[in-house]
Amino acid sequence: MTMLSVDAQIRYLVQWFNEWSELQKSDFLPIMTEKYTNKPYVNGITNDIANINCQEKPMSLFQCRVKLFKEWFSQWNPEQRESFLKKILESDASFAEKLKGEMQNGIDHDGNEEEILED
């Protein structure tokens, strides 16, 4: 099995992100927030994706891609992580706003969710 370069991993992830529905992007938001803030994000979706039991039912394509994101992200250096973040932020302005808000305000120092004011 040939290993993908980090550049290829990032290209795949950005392409997949751009194919996702708004609901899938909203499911991905807490996962990205957790990765970029290094704070646990208590969220049912995140926990469900993290604790999938493959014997119950097959993973969806979205869940497989999130799993790959988590595996690849853990191996990237800070510059590669910044490159991925920049490409995601550039590809979807609405998601970028939500992500920036979550990263700045969404998680307090105890790892608990804080209330975020909606526009």
Q: Helix/strand/coil (H, E, C) string of 3-22?
A: CCCHHHHHHHHHHHHHHCCH
The whole-model pTM stands at 0.74
Q: What is the pLDDT of residue 14?
A: 98
Q: What is the pLDDT of residue 56?
A: 73
Residues of the chain with pLDDT below 70 are 1-2, 40-55, 106-119
Q: What is the pLDDT of residue 39?
A: 74
Quote the CA–CA distance of 85 and 61 in Å, as a whole number: 22
Report, in angstroms and rounded to the nearest whole number, the Rg of the chain calculated over CA atoms. 14
Q: What is the pLDDT of residue 41?
A: 58
**Angstrom distances, CA of residue 29 to CA of 3, 45, 55, 96, 106:** 27, 10, 26, 10, 11
Q: What is the pLDDT of residue 53?
A: 52
* Interior angle at CA 52, CA 48 and CA 53, nearest 5: 140
